[in-house]
A and B are shown apart, each in its own frame.
Chain A
Amino acid sequence: MIELRGIRRTFVVGDQEVRALRDVDLSIGYGEYVSIMGPSGSGKSTLLNVLGLLDRPDAGSYRLEGHDVTALGDAEQARVRRERIGFVFQFFHLVSYLTAEENVELPLVLAGVPPAERRDRVAASLRDMGLANRAHHRPDQLSGGQRQRVAIARATVTRPAMLLADEPTGNLDRSSGSDVIAILEQLRDAGLTLIVVTHDGEVGERAQRRVRMTDGNVVGDESAA
């Protein structure tokens, strides 16, 4: 599903060049559960941004579902993000003045889905996350675990092919963190490709495949039996 070849990404910070990704090659198949681990500054977040088409690599090719997506223009990349990719962030990134329901609805609004269909899909999605009775609450009226579940509902309501999670438990206590992981794993069991970036070893070890990064290089790639 995902094929990265020679992906390179360099940032200029001040007068220094930071090589966040140095010729990364990586292939990920449909329905895989991959964790990307490494210390901070190892390039794992940059890798996730490249995978999510939020960042463009300076060199290399990225084929997603058989198409070269690095060459796509802004509008086409946005469409791929809208239709094929779901994001879950460490800081949730819910819109503070919208209710849980409206936050989940947002990607459908952007995709131009008619209101009636939006209502049904949002309701179903919130129900799946166990948030049916929280639909009209604003983020500041929800617990951290609930907020992340709203964010997951938002990421999956468009039925994407893959879910990119950046430290999804980084801002949660242990019990809500494990709830969130459990939900992500259920989604994976339903066929979603799940890629989790984390520096929490316990979270990372749960994945069948663990990619380890240091200084912009993939240094380990092991699959559990």
Chain B
Amino acid sequence: MRTADTLRTAVRALLRHRARSGLMLLAMAIGVAAVVTLTALGESARQYVASEFTSLGTELLIVSPGRSETRGAGVFFGDTTRDLTLDDAIALLRSPAVSRIAPLVVGTTLASTGSLQREVPLVGTTAEFLELRRWKLAQGRFLSPGDPERAENVCVIGAKVRRELYGPRPFLGEWLRIADRRCRVVGLLATEGRSVGMDADQVVVLPVAIAQDLLDEPSLARILVETRGRDRLPQAQRDVVDILRERHQGEEDVTVVSQAAVLATFDRVLASLTYTLAGIAGVSLAVAGILVMNVMLVSVAQRTAEIGLLKALGAPRRQILAGFLTEAGLLSACGGLVGLAVGWAGSLLIGSFYPVLTVRPPLWAVLAAFATALGTGLVFGTLPARRAAALDPVHALARR
């Protein structure tokens, strides 16, 4: 039998039972769509986190007060034991592997202009912060470089702060009242949106000394340490720990985490999340396969006489087998394609709700879902097809 005829016959048989074929197609489509959408979601989460961390620079070390044994989580939940001071931060520059540092104090306070007032997250830091965090300025300048202990009364504000406190009025060079201090606004941040726990358009950035004074907070929350290249990261990490231990009376009471380590951990967690989602969605593909098998068994039973006739007319077993497998394969392939389309559309839809995520199914998931659909159809189609091929033509034809 010619391949074209085998295909045509299979299409015809499928079209003759539209409801049945439609149901099998639907089951396959749902399975594939589930795999595509869920992996797209998992993958986009992973990429989002990865890009967030890469935006911080992978040659960065983060020092926080408090010793934490748990790598990664300690960045956020380390217990504070001893203050991390501005002098500690400056001392880190003694390490030859360290190029720049940015001390960090954070807190919340009231900021006001005239009658307008709002609560703002405060970031106290130095000039190096802008480049270390890879933030951008829209207007004006950032904090002046120089001795972090000696500070001028200036601040840089986020876009939202500007909108709410100044509106359309000019703001550069204007005074901003922050708690009980007055600072001159010298710059506007261009960076928008959340970036690793900090909402750039809502913050007010001040020199670290002023912020410490304002918040009455002697300890730094973090020190960002930039190393001279990724290959010097381990040395920088050792140096930082040594310097701080020495300054803290021999006690190792800080947590030093490299950006790369945190990223790797998140990457692992989120990748396994994606695989889990794909696995769960894969179950629906298996269910679809079982449905295909059932419906095809019914189909074989209904077409007994036809199969017997084909055998009498000279169709060998192999051809009957090929015919039914072609039906199963066509159905699975069509279901798979519909599922890919639906899954793609679903990903775009979810993506439109979460603009920060680029929800795209990864290529491996698309290929794997389609191949699994086709494979499932063929594997589960094999039993019915074999049953059809093994039919005894005498018995098949004896019935009317």
Contact = CB atoms under 8 A, between A and B. Distances in A.
B100 to A, nearest CB: 77
A111 B314 contact: yes
Nearest to A87: B312
Contact of A97 (B16, B305, B308, B319): B16
Contacts of A89: 397
Interface in B150-189: none
B311 A75 contact: no
Contacts of A61: none
B9 interface: yes
B279 interface: no
Contacts of B400: 91
B314 A93 contact: no
A54 B317 contact: no
Interface residues of B, number: 23
A75 B314 contact: no
Contact of A78 (B2, B16, B308, B314): B314
A110 B313 contact: yes
B309 interface: yes
A79 B315 CA distance: 8
B16 A95 contact: no
Contacts, number: 65
Contacts of A110: 1, 310, 313-315, 319
Nearest to B16: A97
B318 interface: yes
Contacts of B2: 109, 112, 114
A214 interface: no
A54 B393 contact: yes
Given A91-B400, A110-B319, A55 B394 contact: yes
A59 B392 CA distance: 19
Contact of B314 (A55, A82, A95): A82
Q: Which of A49, A54, A83, A95 has most B Cβ within 10 Å?
A: A54
Interface in B278-331: 305-306, 308-319
Contacts of A216: none
A54 B310 contact: no
A78 B312 CA distance: 8
B305 A93 contact: yes
Which label, helix, strand, loop or mixed, suits the secondary structure of the B interface?
helix
A83 B394 contact: no
Could you say which interface size class chain A belongs to?
Answer: 20 to 34
B231 interface: no
B306 A95 contact: yes
B306 A81 contact: no
Interface string B16-52: 1000000000000000000000000000000000000
A81 B313 contact: yes
Nearest to B306: A95
A112 B319 CA distance: 11
Nearest to A52: B312
B5 interface: yes
A53 to B, nearest CB: 9
A5 to B, nearest CB: 22
Given A91-B400, A93-B397, A109-B1, A54 B312 contact: yes
A112 B1 contact: yes
A173 interface: no
A25 to B, nearest CB: 22
Contacts of A168: none
Interface in A74-131: 74-75, 77-79, 81-83, 87, 89, 91, 93, 95, 97, 106-107, 109-112, 114
Interface in A153-186: 154, 158
A74 B317 contact: yes
A49 B394 contact: yes
A93 B394 CA distance: 12
B313 A106 contact: yes
Interface of A: 49, 52, 54-55, 74-75, 77-79, 81-83, 87, 89, 91, 93, 95, 97, 106-107, 109-112, 114, 154, 158
17 contacts: A54-B312, A55-B394, A74-B318, A75-B316, A78-B314, A79-B316, A81-B311, A81-B312, A83-B314, A91-B400, A93-B305, A93-B308, A106-B310, A110-B314, A112-B1, A112-B5, A154-B313
